[in-house]
Structure 1
Amino acid sequence: MSVKATDASGIARVELLINGKVVATDTRAGYVLAFKTTSQKKTIKVQVRAYDKLGNVKYTTTRTWTRS
């Protein structure tokens, strides 16, 4: 999954949360967060969390994905 995040102070890291647990982290722009779909439940709740360099955090809305 590719993620775009920006902030005036810079982005420290982005994290991918699945069912509330961090499964991937990236600290370089052009953020790519990978995980194995086969090791997850059939229905998962996905959210991205981004931290800026000042320590502030922002979450995306939670989305529910269902694997076919």
Structure 2
Amino acid sequence: TKQEIMERTKKLKGTNIWVEEDYTPRTMEERRKLVPFLNDARHRGERAILKYVIWSTQTGKRETA
């Protein structure tokens, strides 16, 4: 599955081969908006990663986890 492939990309570290996530333009824009929050958390010494954007099919809006 895609998840398994992305997890195995760590084994390619140090080689000239890489695999990157392919996001839709809409997802890329949402992630771009979240980066300042990610950076703020890191500057405070917190471990922060941007992993998921949760989208509600009921409301059609982004939700917080």
- TM-score under structure 1 length normalisation: 0.22
Larger strand share, 1 or 2: 1
State the structure with bigger RCO (CA 8 A, min sep 6), 1 or 2: 1
Larger helix share, 1 or 2: 2
Structure with higher Rg: it is 2
